Amino acid sequence: LTLIHYTQNWSQIQFTFIEEIPGLVVSLLALLAVIFLYKLLQQRTRALHLARKNELQYKTLIEQASDGIFLADQQGNYLDINTQGCKLLGYGKEELLQLNLRDLIPADELAKNPLQLDRLLAGETVVSERLLKHKQGTLVPVEISAKMLPDGRLQGIVRDITKRIKARRALEESEARYRRLSEATFEGVLIHDNGRIVDCNQQFATMFGYEISELIGKDALQLGAPEFRDLLREKMQSGYEKPYELIGVRKDGSTFPVEVCGKNLPVHGKMMRVNTVRDLTERKKAEDELRRYSERLKILNEMGKAILAATSPEKIARETLIRLQKLIRYRRASVTLFDLERKNLQILVSQTHGESMLPEHVEIPIKKHWLEQLSRGQPHFIPDVSQFDQSLPFLDRLIAESVKSVVNFPMLAQQDLIGSLNLAFDVPNAWDADQVTIIKEVANELAIALHQARLYQQIQLHAEELEARVAERTRALEEVNSELEAFAYSVSHDLRAPLRAMQGFSKALLEDFGDQLDEVGKDYAHRIVNAARHMDLLIQDLLAYSRITHEKMKLGPVHLAAIVEAVQNQLQGEIETRGARIHIRQPLMDVVAHAATLTQVLSNLLDNAMKFVPEGRSPEIRMWTEIKNGQVRFWIKDNGIGIDHRHIDKIFRVFERLHSIEAYPGTGIGLAIVRKAIERMGGRVGVCSEPNQGSAFWFELPQAA
């Protein structure tokens, strides 16, 4: 019998022989023992090889793991750690194997969150988040999953959760920001999951009269009026994102208009519906107010147009009352005019729904206290006619017409009271502040319109009187013109006949009896001839001036060059006698004028240009046209004696002369004819001159097309 004993490492095998067994048996047993030993060693070798292979694979897996993995004894001393664990904490492996778990945890962290080794030893798996100290002194946030292995060692898997912490903080900040924004906005914010309310801000809860806690879990459709719930459901299901309006229902059952805008957004990792809700109550009130104000302006504008189109105070008042009824539902209205001197009023127009008992155009005495109040610009209110204890014109008739309240607004024009706008209603105290404002505006507009109508009537009356006076003056002027025409005929025929006789007999005296007269007689005869000739020229110029002043002129296009040529031909003898040289800068622009009158003007100007030249100097005359102030300006410039600027205004007056008739013959009417003729043709005339520098006369007329 052989007792086989082997140690744990199978390095020794001890055999004990019992010497009493015979040799053959011993040999057999020895052989069996060797075979058994061989098989045993073979199995053990395979087991060791497999164990080494498994250990190698385990270590490979640990080394390749993305998380840090460590082994420690039950006191917390590190026994092993993988490469990722070393990299995570910045230590070498040998450095870490010299440390305890507690060495890598900050003291305050360890005080708040101990290691919990007792739970590990009890067989629990402990998962916790901690801050571990990096070799460089920074703190690394990690998640540790620890347990005890079957052999009693402690194993921990350490995962860097820096990104997770950042993401968590970002999410927390985002949620906090959302909460701040939702609470800061004036709009309500609602989040629901398929209609079930998940969250809302305080504004939303306040808007609907709930606490936030009361709304969580509530069906959002119940917050809309029944007739809008199908619309709400449709918008939710379709993901509609544009604003739309509906009627909301508060906790107390009251309703109000809201505007809703929704969007599907991820909330807590799930797609939910986020709605913003705006209370439209104030906006709707503002819109209604704006609509009423717009309608009010429209009616007032129509009223203004009707007033402008009206032709009499009665029509102005009636058109005003008709349109005022669209703004204020009165029972009856009237416009009264005051005669303050006589202390009475007259109903100008009365407008009513029923048959009025108040006649129009009837004078009624004015009560003093009522007049004084209106004169101060203060309206007179009677909230309840039945309680009114003062006397008022036609008060009993108003009561008979079922009038319950009355308001009288003064109509002031330039601070003067001219009348009142009166409205009566079939309910007591029927007006509000807005209506009072409207009545005041209408009363003011009506006062201005009636005042202007009165002024217009006065103007019309004055115009009629003026028209009658003008007609009378016209008749008188026509009579005067007839007399002037008769006078002109008389002058041209009756007065000039004696002058011609004087001239003829004087010339005959000189011719037939000149040799019998001494020098004094001859001088007297020559004086008579010259005086008669000058008187004849003076009469002709006066007649020409009179014709230009009163004669009707038909203006039309005139070829100015042709007129200038005709005048030159007419004065050709004078031109040759004086040796005048005339230069014309072509072309001369055509004008709108009266041809005969323009011929007279040019003849007078050319004659003067040749006449007023110093003795011994030949006249040098230039003519041209230009555009000035949109008109054709004609210039005629000479080299004559010139004119002192102090006398320029005089030369265009009748009988104004700057020189003696002996020095420069003439009647003194020529330039007056020029000015009057140009003005009658719608133009202007002037002169530029200096003494001894010649003169440049000009006139302006419209250019012919």
Tens of pLDDT, residues 78-93: 898 988 889 888 999 8
Q: Tally Cβ neighbours within 10 Å of residue 255.
A: 13
Residue 619 scores a pLDDT above 80: yes
- Asked whether the predicted pLDDT for residue 357 surpasses 50, the reply is no
| pLDDT of 242 | 92
Question: Between residues 286 and 511, which one has the greater pLDDT?
Answer: 286
Please calculate the CA angle 638-640-645 and round it to the nearest 5 degrees.
95
Q: 216: pLDDT confidence band, cut at 50, 70 and 90?
A: very high
Residue 493: its pLDDT value, please?
Answer: 56
CB burial of 142-181 (b: ≥16 within 10 Å; e: otherwise) equals: bbbebebeeeeebbbbbbbbeeeeeeeeeeeeeeeebeee
Find out whether 550 and 484 touch, Cβ atoms under 8 Å.
yes
Q: Looking at the domain that runs over 66-160, which CATH code has it been given?
A: 3.30.450.20
In the predicted model, what is the mean pLDDT of the chain?
Answer: 81
Contact between 605 and 634 (Cβ < 8 Å): no
Model pTM above 0.85? no
Task: Give the pLDDT of residue 556.
Answer: 92
User: What DSSP state is assigned to residue 251?
Assistant: T
Tens digits of residue pLDDT in 536-572:
666 666 666 566 766 777 889 999 999 999 999 988 9
Where along the chain do its domains lie?
6-60, 66-160, 167-279, 327-551, 552-701
Domains 327-551 and 552-701 share a fold: no
Contact 89, 83 (CB under 8 A): no
The residue that leads in pLDDT, 207 or 369, is 207
| Residue 662: both structure tokens together | 């002996």
Highest mean pLDDT: which of 29-43, 102-116, 237-251? Answer: 237-251
**Residue 176: pLDDT band with limits 50, 70, 90:** low
Q: Does domain 167-279 have CATH number 3.30.450.20?
A: yes
Highest average pLDDT, of 48-62, 328-342, 405-419, 505-519, comes from: 405-419
Exposed, middle or buried, 619 (CB in 10 Å: 0-12/13-18/19+)?
buried
Q: pLDDT tens-digit profile of 393-441?
A: 566 677 777 888 989 999 988 888 888 999 989 889 888 888 898 889 8
- pLDDT over threshold 60, residue 659: no
**CA neighbours closer than 13 Å in the CB half-sphere of residue 532:** 19
- Domain made up of 327-551: CATH architecture: 2-Layer Sandwich (3.30)
Instruction: Check residue 313 and give its pLDDT.
Output: 86
- Percentage of the chain modeled with pLDDT above 70: 80
pLDDT of residue 490: 60
How many C-beta atoms lie closer than 10 Å to residue 561's C-beta?
A: 16
Interhelix angle 496-513/519-550, rounded to 10 degrees, is 160
**Given a cut of 60, is residue 182 above it in pLDDT?**
no
What's the pLDDT tens digit per position in 631-648? Answer: 999 999 999 888 877 767
As a whole number, mean pLDDT of residues 113-134 equals 88
Q: 552-701 domain in CATH 2.60.120.260?
A: no
pLDDT digits (tens, 9 = 90+) for 438-461: 889 888 888 888 888 888 888 888
Contact yes or no for 321/349 (Cβ under 8 A): yes
Length of the chain: 705
Q: What is the pLDDT of residue 8?
A: 43
Instruction: Tell whether the model's pLDDT for residue 500 goes beyond 80.
Output: no
